Amino acid sequence: QKEVEQDPGPLSVPEGAIVSLNCTYSNSAFQYFMWYRQYSRKGPELLMYTYSSGNKEDGRFTAQVDKSSKYISLFIRDSQPSDSATYLCAMEGLGQGAQKLVFGQGTRLTINP
Amino acid sequence: DVKVTQSSRYLVKRTGEKVFLECVQDMDHENMFWYRQDPGLGLRLIYFSYDVKMKEKGDIPEGYSVSREKKERFSLILESASTNQTSMYLCASRPGSGSIYGYTFGSGTRLTVV
């Protein structure tokens, strides 16, 4: 079983829709949770991060962490064609090996005009 | 802005060749990483380094080696390239562990081994 599971999609929605991207994980030591966005032929870029459980909002994006369920989500409101990309969740624990992140497979998202 | 620069965007090499992928970062980050990215498999860690001349194996180190002689440069070496090493290779760096210090990635090198 992978430490982090993410539905690879692809996911295709109309412009303006609310998008929900999700990851589940098995390692209860994970404390830091991130979302990366990767455009075609580019490297991933950090989009959002959260620490422990709770919500964090940044413009049209909301990151949500539920540690009791080992489940994290990224919501995109009023989705735009420019949001079309692959979204990767990533997480990290504390202690030994804490420098490296564990990534989900990535979900490929297309927003149709 | 932090920059991570990978020397080549596209490379085509022959089976058995020794291949060098170079990565340079300009923000004095301690930690550097090499990943490969394949459809359906996501990002897989090959090697990482937390200091000059220090290296640690990731999840899939077989067939690869690394070199970090200077803090800003981290090289990935394919000792004898094989077709199953055809992939997108991503270099990343970060200044330290903790939530605000995510990775900064380079743009990637798409390697084809024929």
For A28-80, write each residue's pLDDT tens digit: 988 889 999 999 989 999 999 888 788 999 999 999 999 999 999 999 999 99
Question: pLDDT tier at A1 (50, 70, 90 boundaries)?
Answer: confident
Six-digit token pair at A68? 């009791």
* Per-block mean pLDDT, blocks of 10 residues, chain B (114 long): 87 97 92 92 92 92 96 96 97 75 90 97
pLDDT at A96 over 60: no
Six-digit token pair at B72? 């800003």
- Interface contact flag, B99 A49, Cβ < 8 Å: yes
B-chain residue closest to A33, CA distance: B99
Whole-number Cα distances in Å, A101 to A65, A73, A92, B113: 16, 17, 5, 28
A-chain residue closest to B34, CA distance: A100
Ramachandran angles phi, psi of A8, nearest 5°: -75, -10
